[in-house]
């Protein structure tokens, strides 16, 4: 038991220890300062921009940034549809897997372009190796997209009065090449040396010790799994994701994969402080996020170690906890820790099956995605949190009777309207989606794997995961059919681009405003008092929006099990 607890403490503290210097490196990269890796990356970067005919010195305003972002994302989507629907005859398909149907390809392509990685297929039978490698490309560039957007936010908050905020393509390539790639190589090598396959050969056939013939699916897994975590993408190579013993062979790889998914969301917060020279503010943000994270993690670990009461009642030794859907090599503690880490940041990779968690743990996983503000996905986590900061600044301003200001810029009606739209979009998409699914039981009830309240939670989870850009699932849901493929597809589009465009628009508007020097009357946005204010705003919005839905799902299920 104690070794299990030490395991997760080690994961968390190691991540912070790595993330602080790495955040400094990220800040240097975006600021265009010299780093020791320049001799390797400068020539590659130059080549990229020479071939694509892009002048990185041409700075963009926030609107031009967003147009570039949307355009290149559309190119990836169209290419994704083509590869996924035609993978049957395209090369690198040793297992002869067929092309995806149009609705599945639509969902898969969108889902990977928006960095969500909802998967309505299983990798072993649903994708060729070519498609896997294309999705791996999307792992890099979509993570880079979110990080580039965060870089624009950093620029906008640093500049005194300007509309020139750097070049989008430059931020994108820097993020992929200088930040993601070096870490991906390290992680992939560790995985390959611990038994994760990295081969282009197809399925192997073996006769097991009891004489049955079974197959073993292989592929270029190590390279894929490394970037799936670093980019907080989460889409697994195999159907079972990181619960699969080839994606995640032992406790060491589990630790490495956990650090890999947490490190950039952590480092981005510190990068924010280094870049803006507001290190106290980044500690305030990190503190609020960590409190939120622990409030969700600690009870989940306790509930999972407590096990399923219905099984305890059968009179067996239930001391290992709720082991349904979990792996022995990770144990319940590291599984429960992972389940909250993966849902607060938008990875959505799993090392255990969330559908089989005890009811209240299912609720904390949902809450992690519903708040969508603690750490968050690479880049976009900062954007989401920025919206809550704006709301908290505004409410605090009203409470003390002053014009709300953030970093020397006035927050006015236009910024507030945008922040409100972004904050309310998330509950709107989740609740309307779930309500629609519940309103058409003739279509959806056959797709549920479990009866009663838990069935409702499966639907709620699917839309929450889509809207939070997460991609994990209550995987019992039979989601490969037009209803789920298409409805979640649209939720994915709205919930990705509006929460990027909104905060960037606010930041762009703020950058253009006159700078007012701080005075004694200025609200201190880096104090712990303000941190509590932000946390309160997050909790109130989440509680008011989602409590009724949670009552119908996990809370009701909990009371049936007591």
Partner 1 sequence: MKTNLFPAIKLTSITLVFFAGVYTIIIWGIAQLAPNHGNGEVVMQNGKKYYANVGQTFTEDKYFNSRPSAVDYNAAGSGGSNKAPSNPEYLATVQARIDTFLVHNPEVKKQDIPVELITASGSGLDPDISPNAALVQLKRVSKNRNISNEKLQKLIEENTEAPLLGLLGPAKVNVLKLNMALDGLKN
Number of other CB atoms surrounding residue 367 within 10 Å:
25
Tally of CA atoms within 13 A in the half-sphere of 173 that contains its CB? 19
How far apart are the C-alpha atoms of 406 and 399, rounded to whole Å?
15
Contact present, 497 and 72 (Cβ < 8 Å): no
**What tokens appear for 277 in the block?**
């020279």
The answer to the question of residue 57 lying near partner 1 (CB under 8 A) is no
Task: Report, in Å, the least distance between residue 9 CB and partner 1.
Answer: 9
Tally of CA atoms within 13 A in the half-sphere of 196 that contains its CB? 31
Residues in 455-514 at the binding interface with partner 1, rule: CB under 8 A: 474-476
Give me the helices (H) in 89-178, please: 102-113, 123-126, 129-158, 168-174
Long-range contacts of 279-288 (CB under 8 A, 24+ apart): 280/526, 281/525, 281/526, 282/23, 283/526, 284/525, 284/526, 284/527, 284/528, 284/530, 284/531, 285/385, 285/531, 287/528, 287/531, 288/531, 288/534, 288/535, 288/538
The one-character DSSP state at 198 is B
Residues in 399-418 at the binding interface with partner 1, rule: CB under 8 A: none
The answer to the question of residue 96 lying near partner 1 (CB under 8 A) is no
Class of residue 400 by CB neighbours under 10 A (exposed 0-12, middle 13-18, buried 19+)? exposed
CA geometry: angle 67, 137, 254, nearest 5 deg: 120
- The angle that helices 413-439 and 380-400 make with each other, rounded to 10 degrees, is 120
Among 32, 38, 42, 75, binds partner 1 (CB under 8 A): 75
CA dist list (Å): 86 to 83, 141, 165: 5, 22, 40
Task: Report, in Å, the least distance between residue 92 CB and partner 1.
Answer: 10
The answer to the question of residue 86 lying near partner 1 (CB under 8 A) is no
Contact present, 121 and 67 (Cβ < 8 Å): no
The answer to the question of residue 454 lying near partner 1 (CB under 8 A) is yes
Residue number with CB closer to partner 1 (60 or 387): 60
The answer to the question of residue 419 lying near partner 1 (CB under 8 A) is no
Residue number with CB closer to partner 1 (196 or 343): 196
The answer to the question of residue 45 lying near partner 1 (CB under 8 A) is no
The answer to the question of residue 17 lying near partner 1 (CB under 8 A) is no
Lookup result for tokens 């549920």: 448
Among 35, 125, 162, 403, binds partner 1 (CB under 8 A): 125
Spatial CA neighbour of 296 closest among 54, 6, 535, 545 = 535
Beta bridge partners of 204: 216
- Judged by CB under 8 A, which stretch of 396-404, 451-459, 506-514, 527-535 contacts partner 1? 451-459
- Judged by CB under 8 A, which stretch of 118-126, 396-404, 462-470, 486-494 contacts partner 1? 118-126
The answer to the question of residue 169 lying near partner 1 (CB under 8 A) is yes
Spatial CA neighbour of 266 closest among 157, 353, 414, 381 = 381
The answer to the question of residue 137 lying near partner 1 (CB under 8 A) is yes
Residue number with CB closer to partner 1 (38 or 518): 38
Task: Report, in Å, the least distance between residue 316 CB and partner 1.
Answer: 4
The answer to the question of residue 199 lying near partner 1 (CB under 8 A) is yes
The answer to the question of residue 453 lying near partner 1 (CB under 8 A) is yes
- Judged by CB under 8 A, which stretch of 119-127, 146-154, 278-286, 369-377 contacts partner 1? 119-127
The answer to the question of residue 451 lying near partner 1 (CB under 8 A) is yes
Q: In sequence order, which residues have a C-beta less than 8 Å from that of residue 441 and are 6 or more positions away?
A: none
Among 217, 346, 434, 467, binds partner 1 (CB under 8 A): 217
- Judged by CB under 8 A, which stretch of 98-106, 202-210, 265-273, 372-380 contacts partner 1? 202-210
The answer to the question of residue 352 lying near partner 1 (CB under 8 A) is yes
Residue number with CB closer to partner 1 (256 or 267): 256
Residue number with CB closer to partner 1 (382 or 500): 500
How far apart are the C-alpha atoms of 430 and 163, rounded to whole Å?
35
Collapsing DSSP to helix, strand or coil, 213 comes out as: strand
Residue number with CB closer to partner 1 (188 or 423): 188
Residue number with CB closer to partner 1 (68 or 545): 68
Task: Report, in Å, the least distance between residue 544 CB and partner 1.
Answer: 27
- Judged by CB under 8 A, which stretch of 269-277, 397-405, 487-495, 553-561 contacts partner 1? 553-561
The answer to the question of residue 124 lying near partner 1 (CB under 8 A) is yes
How far apart are the C-alpha atoms of 51 and 170, rounded to whole Å?
14
Residue number with CB closer to partner 1 (51 or 520): 51
- Judged by CB under 8 A, which stretch of 109-117, 432-440, 448-456, 524-532 contacts partner 1? 448-456
- Judged by CB under 8 A, which stretch of 22-30, 113-121, 190-198, 374-382 contacts partner 1? 190-198
CA geometry: angle 370, 253, 177, nearest 5 deg: 75
Residue number with CB closer to partner 1 (343 or 396): 343
**What tokens appear for 545 in the block?**
């929006």
The answer to the question of residue 214 lying near partner 1 (CB under 8 A) is yes
């Amino acid at each position: 038991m104690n070794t299990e607890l030490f395991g997760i403490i080690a994961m968390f503290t190691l991540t912070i220890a790595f993330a602080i210097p790495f955040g400094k490196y990220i800040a240097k990269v975006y600021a265009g300062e010299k780093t020791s890796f320049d001799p390797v990356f400068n020539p590659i970067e130059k080549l990229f921009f020479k071939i694509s005919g892009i002048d990185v010195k041409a700075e963009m305003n926030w609107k031009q940034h967003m147009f570039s972002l949307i355009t290149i994302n559309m190119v990836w989507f169209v290419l994704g549809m083509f590869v996924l629907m035609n993978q049957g005859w395209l090369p690198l398909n040793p297992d002869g897997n067929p092309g995806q149907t149009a609705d599945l390809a639509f969902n898969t392509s969108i889902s990977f372009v928006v960095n969500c990685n909802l998967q309505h297929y299983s990798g072993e039978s649903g994708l060729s190796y070519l498609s896997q490698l294309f999705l791996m490309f999307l792992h890099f560039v979509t993570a880079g997209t979110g990080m580039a957007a965060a870089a624009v936010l950093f620029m906008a908050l640093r500049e005194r009065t300007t509309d020139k905020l750097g070049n989008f393509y430059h931020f994108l390539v820097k993020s992929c090449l200088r930040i993601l790639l070096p870490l991906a190589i390290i992680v992939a090598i560790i995985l390959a040396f611990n038994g994760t396959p990295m081969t282009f050969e197809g399925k192997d056939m073996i006769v097991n010790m009891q004489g049955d013939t079974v197959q073993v699916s292989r592929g270029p897994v190590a390279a894929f799994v490394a970037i799936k975590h670093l980019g907080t993408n989460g889409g697994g190579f195999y159907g079972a994701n990181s619960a699969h013993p080839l994606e995640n062979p032992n406790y060491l790889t589990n630790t490495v994969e956990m650090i890999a998914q947490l490190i950039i969301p952590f480092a981005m917060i510190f990068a924010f402080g280094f870049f803006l020279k507001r290190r106290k503010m980044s500690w305030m943000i990190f503190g609020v996020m960590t409190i939120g994270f622990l409030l969700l993690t600690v009870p989940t670990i306790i509930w999972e170690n407590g096990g399923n009461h219905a099984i305890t009642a059968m009179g067996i030794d239930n001391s290992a906890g709720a082991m349904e859907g979990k792996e022995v090599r990770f144990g319940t503690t590291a599984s429960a820790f992972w389940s909250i880490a993966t849902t607060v940041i938008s990875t959505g990779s799993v090392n255990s099956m969330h559908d089989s968690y005890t009811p209240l743990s299912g609720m904390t996983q949902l809450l992690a995605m519903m708040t969508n503000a603690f750490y968050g996905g690479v880049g976009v986590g900062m954007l989401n949190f920025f919206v809550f900061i704006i709301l908290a600044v505004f409410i605090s301003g009203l409470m003390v009777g002053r014009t709300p200001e953030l970093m020397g810029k006035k927050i006015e009606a236009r910024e507030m309207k945008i922040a409100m739209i972004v904050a309310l979009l998330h509950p709107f998409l989740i609740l309307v989606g779930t309500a629609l699914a519940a309103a058409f039981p003739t279509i959806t009830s056959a797709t549920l794997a479990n009866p009663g309240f838990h069935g409702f939670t499966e639907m709620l989870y699917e839309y929450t995961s889509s809207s939070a850009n997460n991609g994990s699932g209550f995987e019992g849901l039979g989601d490969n059919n037009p209803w789920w493929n298409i409805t979640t597809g649209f939720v994915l589009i709205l919930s990705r681009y509006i929460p990027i465009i909104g905060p960037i628009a606010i930041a762009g508007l703020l950058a253009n405003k006159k700078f007012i020097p701080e005075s004694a009357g200025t609200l201190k946005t880096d104090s712990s008092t303000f941190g509590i204010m932000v946390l309160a705003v997050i909790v109130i919005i989440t509680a008011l929006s989602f409590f009724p839905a949670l009552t119908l799902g996990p809370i009701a299920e909990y009371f049936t099990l007591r």
